[in-house]
Copies of this chain bind each other. A is one copy, B any other.
Amino acid sequence: MEENMSRYKEIKAAILGAGTVGGGVYKLIGRRQDELPDKIQAKLTVSRVLVKNLNKKREGIPSELLTDDWESIRKDPDIRIVIELMGGIEPARTYILQALEAGKNVVTANKDLLAEHGKELMDAAERSGCDLYFEAAVGGGIPIIRPLKECLAGNEITEVMGIVNGTTNYILTKMTKEGMDFGEALGQAQKLGFAEADPTADVEGLDAGRKMAILASLAFHSRVTFQDVEVKGITKITARDIQYADAFGYVLKLLGVARSEDGQIEAGVSPVMIPKTHPLANVNDSFNAVFVHGDAVDDAMFQGRGAGEFPTASAVVGDVIAVARNMQYDCCGRIGCSCYKNLPMKPAGESRHKYFLRLIVEDRTGILAGVAGVLGNNGVSINQVIQKPAVDGVAELVVITDKVETRHLHDALVIFGEMSMIREVASVIRVYTQK
């Protein structure tokens, strides 16, 4: 073994962060040690692992590799690949910029950072002629970044949609299949480790929003940041909404939808009712999926594990192998930033969607006429209505609209808020329609 290996040159990498993903990447590189030379014509060695706390034991990582000194990695000319798996904005941002400046290639899974500072990082990579790969930032183990940047590069992509947060997909699946309410399903997700103690980033859609910023930037060749993505979470979704969705032939998912139309981009994350026949409707539990529509490829979908130690490590190690192959041919930095356009975001309120409205109303005559009148006056046309028999003087009125400009719906909702006959606008949920 040793002898066979000796004819190969050695490529040294450092891992920043020894949490779940960092540990997984270290282990997976170890597991593939014998085969890597066949893949990259080199030996790949992790020579340093950066941690905050040197005293904490890291299962599976030899303690002599651990360091808390970034400078020792930055200044080591033998370390040619930096694998950033710390997460968060700082110090990850500074370390990546410094690594690139030092001529090191970078692989990262850091969606927060890319969604906010993507341009700065890509520019730095271009200046240095280094690779900056980030397959693991969206969809965990699912190959989607490179398929978008490379395999589908012949397309004009007009839509990219995704179930890109496993926690919320798990919660909604439980609510749908077992009739749980949100709190119960969240509790179970936390118990099983699918949701964190503070689930805000997941259930409020922030995590999905960051991933959609990255996907939209790649799909439309124009920089979309997290701030550009309209985000709405699932905390107000009730079992009742899900029952209605089912009755109308829909499944409720937390869906990221980004579209490019007439030279403008819209990108959002929100609960969406999608037809049961849509491929995304069957993506359940903690699985993720990304759906792409291009003018040549038509519809394509990629699904798999969106998180977890080894699925994420799969994406990271795939990137490391790509970088190593580039290094061997001296062609790092070959495929850099693909945002060669500068498209504006569509102004808020101008996007056109179909909506499901659930209103709690008083049980008296004229309600339907009143509601229909307000909608009509605001240019919101009605597609379907269901009025349920009243219980204790309170009735439920469900309206599915046609496709309307969101601002018109908002105008109508403001008026609903002032009408005494309407006790509560219980739900306003987007319904999927094709572009």
Verify B311–A304 contact, CB threshold 8 A.
no
Verify A304–B300 contact, CB threshold 8 A.
yes
Verify A310–B297 contact, CB threshold 8 A.
yes
Q: Interface size bucket, A side? A: 35 or more
* Chain B residue with Cβ nearest A37: B340
Verify B325–A296 contact, CB threshold 8 A.
no
Q: How many copies does the complex hold?
A: 2
A2-10, A51-59, A151-159 - interface stretch: A151-159
A residues in contact (CB < 8 Å) with B:
24, 28-29, 31-32, 35, 38-39, 135, 141-143, 146-147, 150-156, 221, 279, 282-283, 294-305, 308, 310-311, 313-318, 320-322, 325-326, 328-331, 334-335, 338, 340
Verify B321–A325 contact, CB threshold 8 A.
no
Verify B152–A143 contact, CB threshold 8 A.
yes
Verify A301–B303 contact, CB threshold 8 A.
yes
Verify B314–A297 contact, CB threshold 8 A.
yes
Verify A154–B28 contact, CB threshold 8 A.
yes
Query: A303: which B residues are within 8 A, CB to CB?
Result: 279, 300-301, 303
Verify A146–B154 contact, CB threshold 8 A.
no
Verify A151–B300 contact, CB threshold 8 A.
no
Q: List 11 A-B contacts (CB under 8 A).
A: A142-B297, A142-B300, A143-B143, A143-B302, A146-B147, A147-B151, A151-B318, A296-B317, A328-B334, A331-B331, A331-B334
How many Å lie between the Cα of A300 and that of B147 in the bound state?
A: 14
* Chain B residue with Cβ nearest A294: B314
Verify B334–A329 contact, CB threshold 8 A.
yes
* Chain B residue with Cβ nearest A153: B321
How many Å lie between the Cα of A335 and that of B38 in the bound state?
A: 11
How many Å lie between the Cα of A221 and that of B314 in the bound state?
A: 17
Verify A155–B314 contact, CB threshold 8 A.
yes
Verify B296–A28 contact, CB threshold 8 A.
yes
How many Å lie between the Cα of A288 and that of B328 in the bound state?
A: 35
Query: A315: which B residues are within 8 A, CB to CB?
Result: 151, 297
* Chain B residue with Cβ nearest A38: B340
Verify A150–B318 contact, CB threshold 8 A.
yes
Query: A151: which B residues are within 8 A, CB to CB?
Result: 135, 143, 146-147, 315, 318
